[in-house]
Amino acid sequence: MRTAAVLGIAALLAGCSAWQDDSGSAAEATILVFAAASLKSVFADIGTRFEQDNPGTTVIFNFAGSSDLVTQLEQGAPADVFASADTTNMTKAVDAGVIAGEPVNFAANTLTIVTPPGNPAGITSFADLAEPGTQVVICAPQVPCGSATEKIEKATGVTLAPVSEESAVTDVLGKVTSGQADAGLVYVTDASGAGDKAAAIPFPESAAAVNVYPIATVAGTAGRAAADRFVSLVTGPYGREALASAGFAAP
């Protein structure tokens, strides 16, 4: 049975028009990109550039935790491109047969600690997050940022007792910026994008868990040519520059 999310995506695409290429054959005027939540800001910019470069084509994004996106793809959700925040979830998608071709690594990201402005709890290190009474929010283990958190816990011997485990890194950030937590673990790019709504506290142990982001065209897409062009834009000079400006490292 398809989930409500899958049905919602299908409904969103229902009624999308088609355009005629030079040969007179129909091609999709809309491409749907499934992308990790941490890519929301930079992919919105890349999507705008793609639409400018491809008049008549509209890019629709579905941003969520990478593990949730893989589940949706496995359940038959329509999509043209998938960009994951780690190689593990992309491998799951490949093994499930929902990916066409070879995924391409296009960015890397690491975790940082974020607190509300002013850092009222006085957090200064990763170990501080395990202090009794500290309200820390992290990503769920199946989500790339959660998997990275587990790696850091194992590398440091510090075990966290989170008050909440979220399904997307943006949800962790939201809990911190709204004052519902003393601290959270998010990607450096999310912390940068939060501006003065959060304070970022880098910690050296984050180097133990660097997440590499792959992107690929989804199998069975009716807009294969457009999907491939979007992947090329992300992995090409424009995409690399946009990603670097947003704080992503090279893969």
DSSP codes of every residue in 188-201: HHHHHHTGGGSEEE
What are the two backbone dihedrals, phi and then psi, of residue 213, each rounded to the nearest 5 degrees? -100, 120
Is residue 66 part of an annotated ligand binding site? yes
54 DSSP assignment: S
Amino acid at 185: L
* Farthest CA pair distance, the chain: 67
What's the CA gap between 49 and 229, in Å, rounded?
12
Q: How many residues are listed for the chain in this entry?
A: 251
Residue with tokens 């470069």: 53
What's the CA gap between 29 and 54, in Å, rounded?
10
Pick the closest to residue 79 from 27, 13, 25 (CA basis).
13
Sign of the dihedral through C-alpha 114, 251, 84, 48: positive
Is residue 147 part of an annotated ligand binding site? no
Binding residues: 38, 66, 169, 187
Known binding positions for molybdate = 38, 66, 169, 187
